[in-house]
Structure 1
Amino acid sequence: MPDLPWSVYAMLLAPLGLFLVAAVVKTWQAREARSWPQTPGRVVRSVAEVREVRVSDDDREEGHRLESRNFANVTYEYAVGGRKLRNDRISIGEDLGNFQVAVKLAKYPAGSIVTVYYNPRHPDQAVLERDLPKGLWGCLGIGTLVVLAIVFGSAFGLNQSYAYLAHHIARPDLAGLVVGFGAFGLAVALMGFAVQRQASMATRWPVVPGTIKLSGIEEYHEASEPGEARGSEMFGNRVTYTYRYRNVSYTNEWARVAAGSPATSDKMAKKLMSRYQDGATVEVRVNPDNPAEATLDARGDGRIAYVLWGIAAIFAAIAVFVATRGG
């Protein structure tokens, strides 16, 4: 085991722990739902819709920002004890948006007859699917092993690298700095490869027409720095676009621009929109496996990889400089 503080491991493994806790809770809910009675119901609404979802953002004072995501709104009616009820929850699992929108709409079209499973203690709580995805725990088990291997393998590798460098560079006290710069550069380089691969796949996605939309100005405060009472006030614009794929409408986000004043933010938005005018028709590349995922410029997205590789090269060069020159 690498000689690292327990807090480092806790920080690295915290996301995995939260994910496993969520899986346990959902499994318990699914087991509870297996005993729920069933009743026939009818789908009265089945359309795609855009909802504003809170997304974590540590750069903001409130710790989150709003993001537009696509959902399948499947509303169904059913009766329990003579009461006519409505619900729009499909499954026990949480719907985070931008996933299987078209699949859900096709499975539950308006007017179709469905089986509704409802909570006998609270009949207004109901679902159409009470089972979790098959193989969930198998995937979680494999994923857990992979994460543990990466975390402890990386920690062991960094520890061994530190020990090796401490005996082979002019300034052993700088070995930690060399390892840190090198590890960060490697991580950024791997991110670049992931971005380049995704962009390469996107160039082969089918193309459909879309329309540029520009939202109004939003106001927020940046997260405050130590010693500050409050962060700086910021003004931003969200540039989005809409498109249709196989008769389902979607909305996606193209870019966000932000500045310290409304005038500057508006100027930045206009500069961005000089390429994509508000209301203009554009070509949208759509992921056929998940149509809620799309891009306006796959090749431009790929160019981000070169930026990341440039940053990685800088950190690698700094690591080599520190290792050979001694600071």
Structure 2
Amino acid sequence: MPDLPWFVYAMLLAPLGLILIAAIVKTWQAREARSWPQAQGKAVTSVAEVREVRVSDDEREEGYRLESRNFANVTYEYSVAGRKLRCNRISIGEDLGNFQVAEQLAKYPAGSIVTVYYNPRHPDQAVLERDLPKGLWGCLGIGTAIVIAIIFGSAFGLNQSYAYLAHHIARPDLAGLVVGFGAFGLVIGLMGFAVRRQTSMATRWPVVPGTIKLSEMEEYHEASEPGGGRGVEMFGKRVTYTYNYRDVRYTNECARVAAGTPSASNKMLEKLMSRYQDGASVEVHVNPDNPAEATLDARGDGRIAYVLWGIAAIFAALALFVATRGG
């Protein structure tokens, strides 16, 4: 076991723990839903819609920002004890948006007869699918093993690298700094390769026409330091685009700008989006495997990879400098 403080392992394993807890809760809900009675229902609406979803944002006073995501809105009617009810929840699992929108709309078209599973204690709570995805726990088990192996393997490797460098550089007390710079550079470099691979795939995605849309001015306060005064008031706008793919309409965000005054925000927006105007027509590259994922500039996104590689090279140079010059 690498000799690292316990809280380091706790921080690294915390996200995995939250995922496992969520899976346990959903598994319990799915087991409970297996005993729910069923009724015949009818899908009355089946359309794609855009909903505002809260996304964590530590830079805002509220701790979150709103993000537009695509959902399949399948509303169905059913009757329990002579009482007609409506619901639009499809499955026990949480729908975070931008996933399987077209598949769900095709599976439950408007006018189709559906089987509804409802909570006998609260009949207005219902689902169309009460089972979790097959192989969920198998995938989580494999993923958990891989994550643990990576975390502990990386910690062990860093310890071994530290021990080796401490005996082979002029300033052994700087071995930790060398290992830190090298590790950061490696991680950022790998991120660059991942971005480059994603960009290469996006250039082969089908292209469909889309339309630019600017949001209204948004006002919020930046997060402030604990015990300090209220954060600076900010004014921002979002730039989104809409497009149709196989008769389903989607909306995606391509930019977000903010400044301390409305006029400054507008100037930043004009500079950033000089190529696009509100209502302008654009070409959208759509992921055929998940049409809710798209981009306006598939090749341009690849430039981020070169930025990441440049940062990685800086960290590598710092590691080499410290190792050879002694600080």
TM-score under structure 1 normalisation? 0.98
Hey, what does 1:232 align to over in structure 2? Answer: 232
Displacement of 1:221: 2.1
Gaps of 5+ in 1: none
SS at match of 1:298: coil
Corresponding position: 1:213 with 2:213:
yes
SS at match of 2:43: strand
Hey, what does 2:293 align to over in structure 1? Answer: 293
Distance 1:3 1:308, change over 3 A: same
* 1:1-327 alignment runs, 5 A limit: 1-225=1-225, 228-327=228-327
Displacement of 1:230: 3.1
Q: Which letter does structure 2 place at the counterpart of 1:98?
A: N
Alignment partners' CA distance in 1, 2:184 and 2:63: 25
Q: What is the aligned-residue RMSD (CA, Å)?
A: 1.0
Q: Which letter does structure 2 place at the counterpart of 1:43?
A: A
Displacement of 1:181: 1.1
Q: Which runs of 4+ in 1 moved over 3 A?
A: 225-228
Deviation larger for 118-127 or 228-237:
228-237
Gaps of 5+ in 2: none
TM-score under structure 2 normalisation? 0.98
Post-superposition Cα deviations, 1:168-195, rounded to whole Å, max 9, x if no partner, equal 1111111111111111111111111111
Q: Which letter does structure 1 place at the counterpart of 2:175?
A: A
SS at match of 2:229: coil
Deviation larger for 58-67 or 199-208:
58-67
Distance 1:319 1:104, change over 3 A: same
Alignment partners' CA distance in 1, 2:321 and 2:273: 42
SS at match of 1:117: strand
Displacement of 1:319: 1.1
Alignment partners' CA distance in 2, 1:261 and 1:176: 44
Displacement of 1:57: 1.4
SS at match of 1:308: helix
Displacement of 1:233: 2.3
Alignment partners' CA distance in 2, 1:182 and 1:5: 21
Alignment partners' CA distance in 2, 1:318 and 1:101: 47
SS at match of 2:61: coil
Count of aligned pairs between the two proteins = 327
Deviation larger for 279-288 or 222-231:
222-231
